[in-house]
């Protein structure tokens, strides 16, 4: 997306990342979509200030542009940021997707004015980010906030990371899908919204729940209870002022957030908080892209420029 300095989206382009086709395909696609969107910026919007890239990888410092994708470890260290900076002659900032989304919500969404917050990114995987006084806390190797892999059970379901019983294995999209298939099968139901059970995705379950399907809602309530235990652990560890739940699963809204909040309110230590604040993000699924664009803001505020310009994320 291209945003203005207030995080408002001016232009957007979508593209499949082509991640499964190898590093060269990824590079070629990022290059192509950037050329496309930069060429589409109308003159009256000004010129772009910088490019922010949100990636599914740990980033150890806000100035780091080289990264390794944990899911494609064999690709080695990707020089995507440097390549893009050289091609486009603009400052390029790279950050982890959850960190970017957290910064988006902090600057322009639900986290504004908040001194400490935790952001939980619920997509296929479950990521997280810690924001303290406006800055992301990264930890020693960029892995801080990986809440998806806190373990809730010793012998729980297998997680994408190889361990068992991680939060992600209970609330990730795969878990929602599998929970739905089990429950619907138990009741002898063979399809959801016209789709055979084997074909469904977590998004179909969320759609059905939002349309009022009570079984689908029960699945999200179950998911929300596990989410609540995860958030409870975050509360006890870090005691943030606010926990924001974002990502594609968060559009389930209160069907997911309300049971989570209930668990937290019932079980959190009074010394940690009297009023746990858990909410879905205000930027929805745009949080990652807006946050990526906002990475370039740091460049702007570090300098003294005040011209009206655009950010690309
Ligand atoms: Zn895990």
Give the pair of three-digit tokens for residue 272.
């940690």
For 89-161, where are the alpha helices, taking DSSP H only?
Answer: 97-108
* C-alpha of residue 275 to centroid of ligand 1, in Å: 29
Per-position pLDDT tens, the chain of length 313: 999 999 999 999 998 887 888 999 999 999 999 999 999 999 998 899 999 999 989 998 888 889 998 888 899 999 999 999 999 999 999 999 999 999 999 999 999 999 999 999 998 899 999 999 989 999 998 899 999 999 999 999 999 899 999 999 999 999 999 999 999 999 999 999 999 999 999 999 999 999 999 999 999 999 999 999 999 999 999 999 999 999 999 999 999 999 999 999 999 999 888 777 999 999 999 999 999 999 887 666 654 444 456 777 6
Q: In what order do the strands lie in the sheet with 92-96?
A: 9-11, 2-3, 310-312, 48-55, 92-96
Per-residue model confidence (pLDDT) at position 297: 77
* C-alpha of residue 150 to centroid of ligand 1, in Å: 7
* C-alpha of residue 145 to centroid of ligand 1, in Å: 13
Q: Which of 161, 175, 165, 126 is nearest to 146 (CA)?
A: 126
What is the pTM for the complete model shown?
0.91
Per-residue model confidence (pLDDT) at position 74: 92
**3-state secondary structure at position 60:** coil
Any residues with CB less than 8 A from the CB of 263 and at least 6 apart, and which?
224, 225, 228, 229, 231, 232
Using CA atoms, how far residue 63 sits from 106, 236, 295, in Å, is 19, 31, 10
* C-alpha of residue 290 to centroid of ligand 1, in Å: 27
* C-alpha of residue 262 to centroid of ligand 1, in Å: 24
* C-alpha of residue 142 to centroid of ligand 1, in Å: 16
Q: What phi, psi does 19 have (nearest 5°)?
A: -55, -35
* C-alpha of residue 125 to centroid of ligand 1, in Å: 9
């Amino acid at each position: 997306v291209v945003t203005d300095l207030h995080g408002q989206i001016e232009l957007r382009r979508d593209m499949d990342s082509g991640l499964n086709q190898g590093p060269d395909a990824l590079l070629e696609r990022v290059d192509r979509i950037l050329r496309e969107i930069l060429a589409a910026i109308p003159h009256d919007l000004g010129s772009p200030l910088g490019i922010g890239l949100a990636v599914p990888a740990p980033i150890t410092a806000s100035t780091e542009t080289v990264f390794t994708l944990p899911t494609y470890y064999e690709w080695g260290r990707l020089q995507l940021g440097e390549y893009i900076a050289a091609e486009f002659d603009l400052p390029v900032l790279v950050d982890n997707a959850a960190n970017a989304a957290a910064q988006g919500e902090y600057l322009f969404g639900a986290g504004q004015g908040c001194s400490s917050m935790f952001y939980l990114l619920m997509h296929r995987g479950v990521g997280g980010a810690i924001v303290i006084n406006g800055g992301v806390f990264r930890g020693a190797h960029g892995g801080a906030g990986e809440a998806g892999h806190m373990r809730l059970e010793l012998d729980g379901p297998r997680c994408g990371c190889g361990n068992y019983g991680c939060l992600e294995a209970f609330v990730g999209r795969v878990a929602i899908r599998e929970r739905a298939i089990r429950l619907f099968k138990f009741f002898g139901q063979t399809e959801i919204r016209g789709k055979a059970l084997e074909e469904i995705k977590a998004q179909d379950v969320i759609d059905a729940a939002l349309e009022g399907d009570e079984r689908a809602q029960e699945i999200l309530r179950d998911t929300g209870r596990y989410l609540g235990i995860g958030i409870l652990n975050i509360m006890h560890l870090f005691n943030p002022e606010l926990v924001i739940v974002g990502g594609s699963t968060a559009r389930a809204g209160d069907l997911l957030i309300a049971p989570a909040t209930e668990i937290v309110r019932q079980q959190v230590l009074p010394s940690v908080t009297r009023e746990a604040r858990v909410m879905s993000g205000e930027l929805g699924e745009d949080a990652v892209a807006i946050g990526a664009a906002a990475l370039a803001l740091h460049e702007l505020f570090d300098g003294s420029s005040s011209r009206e310009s655009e950010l690309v994320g």
